[in-house]
A and B are shown apart, each in its own frame.
Chain A
Amino acid sequence: MLRVAHIAKSFGPVTALRDVSLHLKKGEVLGLLGDNGAGKSTLIKTICGFQKQDSGEMWLKGEPYEPRSVAHARSLGVDVVYQDLALIDELSVYQNMFLCREQRVTGLPFLDRRKMKKETREALDEIGIHLPRLDVPVARLSGGQRQSIAVARGVYSEADILLLDEPLAAMGAKEGAMILDLIARLKAEGKLSMIMILHNYVHVLESCDRVNMIVDGVITFDKPSAETSLAELTELVVDEYRRARSAAQAEEAAEAAQAAASPPE
């Protein structure tokens, strides 16, 4: 479905992605793990067309995939739910749901508010989110409600591939369970393929078919969820933490040695 090969991306002196390759099968849910700053969000933003990679290639459904913009990626069937929610506070629930996919009255430049409200209501009902009013600015909603709208927006965008950057951030346990239920249901339908960034390993093992871990801009681990365990994932992270710490200590020692070798003038 989607294949990413040797993607690299730097922001000035900071290298976010060094050499990332991954693949996603049709109907599969891929869990992406990794530390803060490991490059997960950069990878998502590259796949969804928000930014362009420095090098490397992507293929979508067997064709070379070079998204020029978020809108272009969306037209090719790749949509995204961002970590920072990407909701517009001043706009209402339904306006956010349809941002950049606005429905217009046939033949006129005017927005079809009734249709957008109706479809928003249906979409939210299906997920099980109950908001009394859809024309209030989303600034007035709770973090969980906002996140549900963001997820609902992605799910109902008619995408083939949905990228979810921490879909459970800012959510209570109950709302989180609702979103996981929705993801399970979508998985069962088998139409949508998803890449999901998650922090909770229990959620990963429960919701994803396969797990990838990204460390320092490289994918270092790739196993089906069924073949790994909470213990293994935890061990990986602990290892990584130890390695990072000893590396930092080594660097510090090297700097100290250097400072000692070259006395101040």
Chain B
Amino acid sequence: MSSTAASEPPASAPAGGPAQQRSAPRNAAVPALDLIKRFLTAREGSIVVVTVVLTLYFAFSLPASSNFVTVANFQNLLPYFAPYAILAAGEVFLMINAEIDLSVGGVYLFTPLMFYEFWNGGIPLLPSVILAIGVACVIGLVNGFIVAVLNVNSFIATLGTLFTASGLTLIVSHAEQLTTPGATVTSNTSGNHITTFASVFGAGIYSELIWALVIVIALQVALTRTRWGLHTVAIGSNRIAAAEAGVKVRWVLIRNFVVCAACAGLVGILESVRTDSISPDPGSATQLLLFAIAAAVIGGTLLAGGSGTVVGAMIGALFLGVLQDGLAIKGVNADYLDFYLGLAILLAMAANVYVGRVRRRSGVG
């Protein structure tokens, strides 16, 4: 006992110090290790590593002729990444609140239909988009009101609005596919042309990626650098204490539901412009919704609330994209996808629990 105590730092070491004490540079390799440890225990660290490993795996296991590591393939992958990243960004705010929004699937379907209806009613393209996203915000407002004011569990409340919005989409569209306004490709002698509107709202190759990056960065900054983000974390961590300190709990919750719905509405419009069709397909919307939540969870956001990261969710979405794309190129039966996805979620959860424990022990902030 006394011999080990002698080699330990003095007992008066300040609390939170042990991590630094242990990693004091005994040799040159230790600071680097400390850095690696810090990186791995950062919320986003583990998912970055996993995504890189997955990418390397596909890069080396696929024959060079499969063109996995090419710009063209990256472009192929984008539709499997950007929509999830945007949806997950909004969802993260609610998951940090210890709430969830299932209605994003319904909003995703309903918003492009509203866009079509506004346009059909004689409103120009851009104002139609803005109005349609306004409708999405109203659905978010309804969610927020039911959860924050009527105190209904968000899972149930948004399950209700999910079906309501999906159902409305089917009723209004008569379950028929529509052609997205403004997205038509016109051909002439010099090749195919898409309008500026279409290239901004999803049809441009990098359009969805740019939207995703802008939204993720904006929401990550909002989460970590603004009062809104701080109060979001406070509510998720300890709702009563937050209210007692003066946080306007209802207002923050409603705002987050609106942001989440706006993200979902935007994704709906981007996807409908990209595919040049508005398809009222609740099945695909539910799939999208679950993938978005999966991206957030894999990226390190807990359903328990109090912690989460928008950037992590984006990398979680990238992971999903790489996984889908890689498996497709590998020629693996598509049936395997869900299986791997399931394993990924379970592993991410285990990693989160473990990393959380390491963080607490070592005092990494």
What residues of chain A have their CB less than 8 Å away from a CB belonging to chain B? 50, 69-71, 74, 80, 82, 84-92, 95, 99-100, 102, 104, 109-111, 130-133, 135-137, 139-142
Chain A nearest CB, measured from B179 CB (Å): 41
Which residues of chain A have C-beta atoms less than 8 A from B234's C-beta? 88, 90-91, 99
**B306 in contact (CB, < 8 A):** yes
CB of B307 within 8 A of CB of A90, answer: yes
CB of B246 within 8 A of CB of A69, answer: yes
A139, closest chain B residue (CB): B360
CB of A100 within 8 A of CB of B363, answer: no
Complex alpha-carbon distance, A104 and B228, angstroms: 12
- Segment with Cβ contacts to A, from B11-19, B50-58, B129-137, B155-163: B11-19
CB of A88 within 8 A of CB of B227, answer: no
Specify the main secondary structure of chain B where it touches its partner: helix
Which residues of chain A have C-beta atoms less than 8 A from B236's C-beta? 90
**B233 in contact (CB, < 8 A):** yes
Specify the main secondary structure of chain A where it touches its partner: loop
**B213 in contact (CB, < 8 A):** no
**B358 in contact (CB, < 8 A):** no
Complex alpha-carbon distance, A141 and B221, angstroms: 27
Known interface pairs A102-B227, A130-B14; 18 further A-B residue pairs with C-beta atoms within 8 A, sorted by A's residue number? A70-B243, A70-B244, A74-B246, A80-B244, A84-B244, A86-B238, A88-B245, A89-B238, A90-B233, A90-B236, A91-B234, A100-B246, A102-B230, A110-B226, A132-B15, A132-B17, A136-B365, A140-B360
B233, closest chain A residue (CB): A90
CB of A100 within 8 A of CB of B247, answer: yes
Chain A nearest CB, measured from B301 CB (Å): 12
> Which residues of chain B in 226-257 are interfacial with respect to chain A, using CB atoms and an 8 Å cutoff?
226-227, 230-231, 233-234, 236-238, 240-248
A-B contact count (CB 8 A): 92
**B174 in contact (CB, < 8 A):** no
**B225 in contact (CB, < 8 A):** yes
Chain B nearest CB, measured from A43 CB (Å): 15
CB of B227 within 8 A of CB of A109, answer: yes
Selected A-B contacts with CB under 8 Å, 25 pairs: A69-B246, A70-B243, A71-B246, A80-B244, A86-B240, A86-B244, A88-B238, A88-B241, A88-B242, A88-B245, A90-B233, A91-B230, A99-B246, A99-B247, A100-B246, A100-B247, A109-B227, A110-B225, A111-B226, A111-B227, A132-B14, A136-B365, A140-B15, A140-B363, A141-B15
Chain B nearest CB, measured from A140 CB (Å): 6
Complex alpha-carbon distance, A137 and B15, angstroms: 13
Complex alpha-carbon distance, A92 and B15, angstroms: 14
CB of B246 within 8 A of CB of A89, answer: no
CB of A70 within 8 A of CB of B246, answer: yes
CB of A92 within 8 A of CB of B365, answer: yes
Complex alpha-carbon distance, A121 and B15, angstroms: 16
Complex alpha-carbon distance, A84 and B227, angstroms: 23
What residues of chain B have their CB less than 8 Å away from a CB belonging to chain A? 14-17, 221, 225-227, 230-231, 233-234, 236-238, 240-248, 306-307, 360, 363, 365
B227, closest chain A residue (CB): A102
Complex alpha-carbon distance, A140 and B247, angstroms: 23
B238, closest chain A residue (CB): A88
Chain A nearest CB, measured from B228 CB (Å): 8
Which residues of chain A have C-beta atoms less than 8 A from B363's C-beta? 133, 136, 140
Complex alpha-carbon distance, A37 and B313, angstroms: 46
Complex alpha-carbon distance, A137 and B17, angstroms: 14
Contacts A99-B234, A133-B16, A133-B365 hold; do A104 and B244 have CB atoms under 8 A apart?
no
Chain B nearest CB, measured from A22 CB (Å): 22
Please tell me which one of the listed residues A87, A102, A109, A135 contacts residue B241 in the complex, with CB atoms under 8 A apart.
Answer: A87
CB of A90 within 8 A of CB of B237, answer: yes
Chain B nearest CB, measured from A102 CB (Å): 5
CB of A84 within 8 A of CB of B240, answer: yes
Which residues of chain B have C-beta atoms less than 8 A from A141's C-beta? 15
CB of B230 within 8 A of CB of A84, answer: no
Chain A nearest CB, measured from B305 CB (Å): 9
CB of B246 within 8 A of CB of A84, answer: no
Chain A nearest CB, measured from B15 CB (Å): 6
Chain B nearest CB, measured from A170 CB (Å): 14
CB of B365 within 8 A of CB of A137, answer: yes
Which residues of chain A have C-beta atoms less than 8 A from B245's C-beta? 70, 86, 88, 99-100
Chain A nearest CB, measured from B42 CB (Å): 14
The 5 closest A-B pairs by CB, nearest first: A132-B14, A90-B237, A100-B246, A70-B246, A71-B246
B307, closest chain A residue (CB): A90
Which residues of chain B have C-beta atoms less than 8 A from A139's C-beta? 360
CB of B365 within 8 A of CB of A135, answer: yes
CB of B233 within 8 A of CB of A91, answer: yes
Interface centre among B17, B221, B230, B247 (most CB of A within 10 A): B230
Complex alpha-carbon distance, A82 and B245, angstroms: 9
CB of A140 within 8 A of CB of B16, answer: yes
